[in-house]
Amino acid sequence: MPRRRRKKSLSVTQKRKREHLELCLDSPSAAGPYGTGLDRHLFVHNALPEIDIDEIDLAASFLGKRLKAPLLISSMTGGFELARKVNRNLAQAAQQLGLAMGVGSQRVALEEQSVADSFKVRDLAPDILLLGNLGAVQLNYGYGIAECRRAVEMIGADGLILHLNVLQEAVQPEGNRNFKGLTAKIAQVCRQLEVPVMAKEVGGGISAEVALRLKQAGVKAIDVAGRGGTSWYAVEAKRAARRGQPVDQAFSDWGIPTEESLVQVRRATPELEIVASGGIRSGLDVAKAIALGADIAAIGQPLLAPALESAGEVVNFLTGIIFDIRVAMLCVGAADLARLRKAPLIRR
């Protein structure tokens, strides 16, 4: 009888990525206990807008590419077979709707080339703004411009996200905790890499002071990724609980709320392109974020369940988000995003 081929076991990094995806599907465990701050704002209703909802222009430009709507499918996963399905369904939806997309951290694929396919989506999405992704802290652990180029080339990316996840690394058992001298290394990547670099938090938010340092380092865009959405601290606490380890809740409310981070970063760096993420759950959230200063908004965790079903389910979900952006714009009398940015907001 022919011998059965043994299934290759997952590496430590792959197992962690799979656990992250499983836990993020469990929304109550992944979501932070506090809000984004966006609910503190109300639009001034325009009862006579004098525009046709079907003629509202949602087109946006980000990092030099045109989007049909101001949405980025946020970086989430990669590195194992189920993640490949998620990424490919997300990419097909992005292509169909004309949106941007970021992939999850590609470190796992740089360590194990056989999983690179789980990140590759250009065959399905040749036209989208596609962003690669590496943890900025890896620049203190042997990574440099060569690895950044490999991440970009691996997926044919238009830019590279360097994500900042200080709290997650601090509490993660396998975490890399040396962030010393990282600003200078980010600046070196920005100088040498052939595509633009975007800095992104993962739920802690970015302050005005950090935004200024990132601007000086040469990043072209910042994703504030504030408190109020997926809490990677909560995710790591759940991972610890699975192993029978005590669950620490001391930092459960840590971070700058998305709204506050967005306002701070826009005031500090008016010339940078800014993504609002961290708890963006509706088209109304997107509209508020743009009125507060974001160029586009990003959605992550809510797309996981649809992406495990099909590209069509992702399209259906995002079509609903896009329709709600139109409704918000109609109700404030904004025929395009430039006018939406000027729409008045009432702070509760």
Written as one string, the DSSP assignment of 255-287 is S-BHHHHHHHHHHH-TTSEEEE-SS--SHHHHH
May I ask the CATH architecture of the domain 12-347? Alpha-Beta Barrel (3.20)
Give the residue extent of every domain in the chain: 12-347
pLDDT in tens, 194-209: 999 999 999 999 999 9
pLDDT of residue 33: 61
CB contact set of 123 (below 8 Å; sequence gap of 6+): none
Contact 158, 125 (CB under 8 A): no
pLDDT in tens, 171-199: 888 899 999 999 999 999 999 999 999 99
Judged by average pLDDT, the poorest of 45-54, 189-198, 224-233 is 224-233
- pTM reported for the whole predicted model: 0.93
For residue 251, report the phi and psi dihedrals to the nearest 5 degrees.
-110, 25
Percent of residues, the chain, with pLDDT higher than 90: 81
- pLDDT at position 1 over 50: no
Contact 135, 176 (CB under 8 A): yes
